[in-house]
Structure 1
């Protein structure tokens, strides 16, 4: 059972959604963000990554960045770029990518459900990233980016959503620069809102798909404000965080690939020999892009050549959900023992590339200076839910969801 609520959203006025909507703050660097906002003063990145409006040498975690984010948010409101609803609503948010449809509901979820693990996690968080979002939320006095949640498909919820969108006009309907269609409907009818709230109360498990740092930060901001509140009641807005929940059947997880800058002092010959102790290696002979067709198989790009690596069957721990994941296998049998990557969350020698960027990005990064790239078989949404159900966590960078939710379409004020 989870508790959700409608909220008075701060959102773009009807003429600005396509200009405001931006990719999540953590999928691009500050340099990339500066380029993305050129000729677009309305981009939400001016709020989500406010260092782009300061000097090039500005530390993105400096106090002045959060002050600038608050200033920009207030400026967007003052200029009418953002408007505020006069009543609490829910929203339907649909994304269409290459014919695939993903339809979710925007609401506020309970901080207590996160703290009490009713909203299940599958990743560890990093303290410095939490602190960044704590400051951002606290200075802006708002959740500025939605947490991406999922749940096992509910036909009852689906029916209400389909009935609503078939009989009501859209609030927003636009195509982003990456050719993804974004459609939003507002649900202001109290009877329908209450029906959906009741149905979510009966959902047995809700999972974080993406946004662990934003979720942890929202909970910590709430805890701080609770401690500072003289007459804490429990229903204050800071006790809830902005969320979008999609049925698991709609979600698409792509490969989340690895690139490493060196071979840990090994020659190419030595490196390949060590790999052969745990994997079978074949030079990829295909004329097109390397195709991974099953779990336990990896693509490796080294010195302008693709290889196919297959873990030896007897090494797979099929009784351990986490250890049997491809991201665990690569880490445990290659990245750690051979390349010396002890902690991929902290090691500066490794980087991660979402599958949406394609094989050419892996080849480009290696050809331009990195040493080796690994192409992964995608983790499944069933893996994610099964691991969260037993209160375990997956290795870092296990999932890359597409399409990405846009930030800036909905803002939840905390007070």
Structure 2
């Protein structure tokens, strides 16, 4: 693999790149290029441009983060960049729909792709754009967009920014830029391994201070940002927050922040959501089954599923100069790692 900074084999990655190039597994672009990538799952299609983005746009606020980062992880990714000199996992940036970019996409998707393949029931198509006039047209359209938002890859973004401050020649990172209406937002379930020495009935009773609590006969998925599904002690519970869905600032009605402010912090004494080992974040494809399984086998004592956070609330939180709790969003689609690689040594 070319993209495992935690594997302990980072020094070998550069050697592996040269092996792949020699074997023809990877091929260098003969000239500077931007790629158009289409990812299709069933009837759902996403189209985005893949290329290098200036780290300075993070410093100026043109690229906006919605989650905080953990310094240790930023340092780990920065060391990976310094040793390998490679970006092999694109950051996902999103933006409002743009007519000029849509026209360019239409122009290319009506032509044969540079490459196409299928992996795990997902279809990928790539178009290479290497004509200077077209590249300039795309860059001008992207520069006209006031704000770009990090959908996936906060730590990769900020590790690149940190590295660029040490070496000003390394001032770019690999990214895919997608219209936000082509992204799907899912959730990470909050899984807890503690009740803070409370009995289950006492814990459930204390929840009624901030929630309307109802025991369910079977699982029911949350239908709004103030609704939560909780599994504990062999039973499902339906929690409805007593907060208003119009409360301001926006962070006060973000589901993951409600779980933190009204459950994790006051009842379970969890203060640091990034470092406390008593909370885990799991993206379950089948939460009704997987939450129950993990709690029933005593891996956790309770699990909570929240409603996916609407994109407008993410943007509003960022514009309020607030940040969401960690692992608040799970965005799709995600480009394949290592499919396109940005090599610092050839820029």
TM-score of the pair, normalised by structure 2: 0.94
Question: Is 1:101 the equivalent of 2:45?
Answer: yes
CA distance in 2: counterparts of 1:337 and 1:70, whole angstroms: 48
Query: How large is the Cα RMSD of the aligned pairs?
Result: 1.7
How many correspondences in the alignment? 344
- 1:123, CA displacement in angstroms? 1.4
Among candidates 56, 62, 71, match of residue 112 of structure 1: 56
Deviations, residues 265-320 of structure 1 (Å, cap 9, x unaligned) = 0101111111112111112235xx52221120000011222110011146x67111
Structure 2 CA distance, aligned partners of 1:166 and 1:352?
41
Of 247, 251, 276, 1:318 maps to 247
Classify 1:239/1:313 alpha carbon distance in 2 versus 1 (closer, same or farther; 3 Å): closer
Equivalent residue number for residue 292 of structure 2 = 363
Query: In structure 1, how many angstroms separate the alpha carbons of the residues matched to 2:319 and 2:248?
Result: 15
What is the correspondence of 1:187-336 to structure 2 with a 5 Å cutoff? 187-226=129-168, 236=169, 238-286=170-218, 289-313=219-243, 318-336=247-265
Aligned counterparts of 2:5 and 2:90: Cα–Cα separation in 1? 18
Corresponding residue for residue 115 of structure 2 = 172
Q: Distance in 2 between matches of 1:255 and 1:381?
A: 12
Partner SS, residue 47 of structure 1: coil
Post-superposition shift, 1:356?
3.1
Which residue of the other structure, out of 291, 295, 314, is the alignment partner of 1:384? 314
Unaligned stretches of 5+ residues in structure 2: none
Q: Check whether the contact 2:188–2:327 (CA below 8 A) recurs between aligned residues.
A: yes
Between 1:270-279 and 1:95-104, the stretch displaced more is 95-104
CA distance in 2, matches of 1:137, 1:74: 16
- Residue of structure 2 equivalent to 1:393: 323
- Secondary structure at the aligned position of 1:48 is classed as coil
Structure 1 unpaired stretches of 5+:
1-45, 52-59, 227-235
Q: C-alpha offsets along residues 185-229 of structure 1, whole Å, 9 cap, x if unaligned?
A: 111222222111111111111111111110111112222122xxx
Tell me, in whole angstroms, the C-alpha distance in 1 between the residues paired with 2:319 and 2:97. 16
Q: Secondary structure at the match of 1:281?
A: strand
Q: Which residue of 1 aligns with 2:94?
A: 150
Q: Which residue is equivalent to 1:34?
A: none
Give TM-score scaled by structure 1 length: 0.79
2:70 aligned residue: 126
Q: Distance in 2 between matches of 1:366 and 1:175?
A: 35
Residue 92 of structure 1: aligned partner? 36
Match of 1:341 among 258, 270, 279: 270
Distance in 1 (alpha carbons) for counterparts of 2:129 and 2:41: 24
Mapped contact 2:230–2:236 kept (Cα < 8 A): yes
